[in-house]
Chains A and B, each alone.
Chain A
Amino acid sequence: MSGDYVPVGRLDDIPPLGGRCVKTPRGPVGVFRTEDDRVFAVDNRCPHRGGPLSEGIVHGAFVTCPLHNAVISLETGELAGPDVGRVATIPVRVVDGEIQIAIPAEIPRDPVPGAPAAALPKTAARRVAPKESV
């Protein structure tokens, strides 16, 4: 299903240790760049109170939610520490400096702002190692 990858932006558009939000019909996806130029994508809603993870501080392969400081592993989507919970991870890759994430091919051109948080299909929830960093 590699044909499902769609470009969402360029690596340079995210500073190292930064994050950006991609609006998709399925809901917002957070895309993150680590210091060593690995790229991760996860469901952008914190499992705690739905905070926008892409606005958090990125450290190592973790992001800290800007609302109440939940720490989420970008590699597994799991909450770190004593908290329990997880966000879905989204397959992501970088091709020629372009970030691509795997979401269903039939994207309506008009994203629905604030789309309800539909459950992610199981197949998309697996962790995919980032590839071909620039």
Chain B
Amino acid sequence: MTEKKRLVVIGNGMAPGRVLERLFEAAPDAYDVTIFNAEPRVNYDRIMLSPVLSGEKTYEDIIIHDDDWYAARGITLHQGKRITGIDRDAKRVTAEDGTAAHYDTLLIATGSNPFVIPVPGHDLEGVVTYRDLEDVEKMISAAKPGGRRAVVIGGGLLGLEAAAGLAMRGMRVTVIHLSETLMERQLDPAAGYLLEKAIATRGIEVITKANTEAISGDTHVTGVRLKDGREIPADMVVMAVGIRPSTGLAKEAGLDAGRGILVDDTLRTSDPDVFAVGECVEHRGTCYGLVAPLYEMAAVIADQLTGGTRTYQGSVTSTKLKVTGINLFSAGDFADGEDREDIVLRDAASGVYKRLVLKQNKVQGVVLYGDTADGAWYFQMLKDQADVADLRDTLIFGQAFAGASPLDPTAAVAALPADAEICGCNGVCKGQIEQAISEKKLSSIDEVRAHTKASASCGTCSGLVEQLLKLTLGDAYNPLAVQAMCGCTRLGHDDVRRLIKAKALKTIPAVMQELEWSTPNGCAKCRPALNYYLVADWPEEYEDDFQSRFINERAHANIQKDGTYSVVPRMWGGQTSAAELRAIADVVDKFEIPAVKVTGGQRIDMLGIRKEDLPAVWADLGKAGFVSGHAYAKGLRTVKTCVGTDWCRFGTQDSTGFGVRIEKFMWGSWTPAKVKMAVSGCPRNCAEATCKDVGVVCVDSGYEIHFAGAAGLDIKGTEVLTLVASEDDALEHIVALVQMYRETGHYLERIYKWAKRLGLDTVRAQIVDDPQGRKAYFDRFVVSQKFAQVDPWAERAKPEPTQGHVSEFRHFEPKPPSAPARTLEPAQ
């Protein structure tokens, strides 16, 4: 194996983050990567700083790569170390603290610096820029509600988002803008005017044509003075007038630079071993400050680094304003010109404005305000330079009209070509999303985000992604599919199970702490679920929390409507004997048990037992050799059998013996919901195995294993898992299946629902087609049984049980006030 090449990255923003993501996807072992980051933190999503400022998200929400991500890829990340020199001859970079690193390939991603207008007072305390998390933290701490005033200089994208965020934080905000209308680089005057009105309704004052003369104050900002003499009081001034590519380091190293570091179409600088990416770059005369082009560059660099030939041709960008409640889309160029034609739609009453700029029947620019649903459609035409002559008459009414299709909200998305970009932030196109949905069987927007990153950043395309889900899945798409476990958390069962393993959470308090439960100790829905997940996932370590179990599992008996209990002793495979029946009869007499009944699972149920009698009942049953039948448990209940080859003239295998064997092997195991099984000795199926959670139908050639049946709230015949020749094989398959269910089931989810959720093929693939995986499941079940096969009855019939609480079966009894306190005794 050849030695890994050394890649050193200067800067750890979104562009290099994306380069590394793509690089490690394509060639995980090609490079040893070292990152120097001047900021003392991991890679986060700068696009999302606005929601952090407004309080809609936190820093943790916007982390892209956490420490584990770097660790898993063996990346050395120097946080808070600023590179001060690049020695291209020695191929070495040095940080200000002296840390040095050699490279074979260098990637410069120094980004940009906010531009600060050099007016008097620009260095006063209270003047901040809007660039990184430090800036946001400064603004948040300055934004005390109650009359504190902020002035934002610059009415572009960033300035307006900052203004909206500060207003949401309770500040009185004034936006000062040099031009006549807001966002004049992205919007035409009409849309700029509508935007100004919308901003004003949020209580933000907008002053256009305003030229800042000075920032007033002695040591701290007190206001902003305009050239026309107006003075606007301020406790904080945010400079958001633009960015400058950060090129100093590259220039000092002798690399060619103009406004930005000059790169060719392979994104190499004037030194072929040095790449540059992101906002620090100048490509074909253009510098970019939006995320989509940076990501397009990143994909090209990752390809080049792995020997590919992709090139970067420049980007056409579109803009969306991330201010809640304002819908704004713009792309391309809409300067007036003789060869240009406008198509404009205005609906003043509903605040809609749409403008398309065409040149020779090709879209050059798009501005949409108020209704941005067709933004992606127009943007695609713009990028493709498609001829719109045929659509022209109705083009402005949008895609639904153009297609003459009914006003189905998904029609617009349906008509997009597969390479149409849906998520601009992450560069994900329609085809990728559709493919992921069908191949990976995704059913929720969260899953799509996890697999494709579409709508995972700014989220403005969430609607489109949902429509794609709906289109791809049809009626099977249920937007409410991922439900929180209960009111104590926003996480669903899958997330909780995954995080318990990933974060190695081993107690209920640890789960609630780490997963940010909203209640002090959960509720009757989540506590039993968590207790089960921990029992199942950490059998050797977890100490069962009995106060988190339903009373049936705490008392090891079934509570009845009058508060008494019923007790069911285990009868292996439904077989019993005279001695057992005699013992049961004696117990019934001794404790005056009012009712005795045969159950549907081939057992005997004794009903109406007082709680305080339970330990004595168990002690007597235990003497006769009985153990608990777990008729109360979310666990293995019963294995029904027919008499098989022992007696039956049709029997093909020893169904009774096999049922007993399964039950003795699996009893005591906890499962997400109850598990009922049966073994029938021939296809006549007297044990009714084909409506059980797991069933076996014996045939001449072996054992047909069934699963996912139901005969309760729902009626459902089983599915065939497979046919195996020997009893040993059958046992291994059954045990592995149940273990898979134990590891992936949701609490209270029966096997038929679990199998439907995972897909029958997924279950078959893991249990039937993968012998090693099956064996691993089997082995894990065996390990967990070491800790599970303790008879709870024997345990609790002891004078001082080691499981559960000593006084569980004692009632309290009031004593006269004069009586001295004494230890409680069991009540009669």
Which chain A residues have a beta carbon within 8 Å of chain B's beta carbons? 3, 5-10, 13-18, 20-24, 31, 35, 49, 51-52, 55-60, 62, 64, 66-67, 69, 71, 96, 98-99, 101, 103, 105, 107, 109, 111
Contacts and interface: CB of A to CB of B under 8 A. Distances in A.
B824 interface: yes
B745 interface: no
Interface in B496-529: 519-524, 527-528
Interface residues of B, number: 36
A101 B559 contact: no
A56 B551 contact: yes
Given A49-B561, A55-B611, A66-B559, 11 more contacts: A9-B812, A14-B807, A15-B546, A22-B811, A23-B814, A57-B524, A57-B550, A59-B521, A59-B524, A60-B520, A64-B523
8 contacts: A13-B807, A13-B812, A18-B547, A66-B551, A67-B559, A67-B561, A69-B524, A109-B816
Nearest to B545: A17
B649 interface: no
Contact of B519 (A22, A57, A60): A60
Interface of B: 519-524, 527-528, 546-548, 550-552, 554-555, 559, 561, 563, 611, 805-807, 810-817, 819, 821, 823-824, 827
Contacts, number: 111
A55 B548 CA distance: 12
A7 B821 contact: yes
B300 to A, nearest CB: 55
A114 B764 CA distance: 54
A64 B548 CA distance: 11
Nearest to A113: B610
B812 A21 contact: yes
Nearest to A100: B817
B811 A6 contact: no
A90 B821 CA distance: 20
Contact of A20 (B522, B523, B812): B812
Contact of A59 (B523, B559, B824): B523
Contacts of A49: 561
Contact of A16 (B547, B563, B813): B547
A16 B527 CA distance: 14
Contact of A6 (B550, B551, B810, B816): B816
A17 B551 contact: no
A14 B519 CA distance: 22
B298 to A, nearest CB: 48
A128 B257 CA distance: 77
A101 B814 contact: yes
Given A9-B824, A58-B547, A35 B813 contact: no
B824 A24 contact: no
Nearest to A111: B813
B547 A57 contact: yes
A47 to B, nearest CB: 15
Contacts of B521: 17, 35, 59-60
Contacts of A31: 812
B811 to A, nearest CB: 5
Contact of A23 (B548, B552, B813, B815): B813
Contacts of A24: 814
A109 B538 CA distance: 48
Contacts of B813: 8-9, 22-23, 111
Contacts of A23: 811-814, 827
Given A17-B521, A51-B563, A22 B547 contact: no
A107 B807 contact: no
Given A16-B547, A49-B561, A55-B551, A64 B524 contact: yes
Contacts of B555: 55
A14 B524 CA distance: 18
Contacts of B563: 51-52, 55
Nearest to A19: B547
A17 B547 contact: yes
A24 to B, nearest CB: 6
Contacts of B548: 17, 57
A53 B698 CA distance: 47
Contacts of A21: 811-812
A13 B527 CA distance: 22
Contacts of A109: 816
Contacts of A71: 523-524
Given A10-B824, A66-B559, A107 B816 contact: yes
Contacts of B561: 49, 51, 67
Nearest to B552: A66
A15 to B, nearest CB: 5
B80 to A, nearest CB: 41
A64 B810 CA distance: 20
Contacts of A15: 546-547, 805
Question: Which residue, B523, B551, B555, B563, has most C-beta atoms of chain A within 10 A?
Answer: B563
A56 B524 contact: yes
B817 A105 contact: yes
Contacts of B806: 13
A73 B559 CA distance: 22
A45 B779 CA distance: 46
Contacts of A5: 817
Nearest to B807: A13
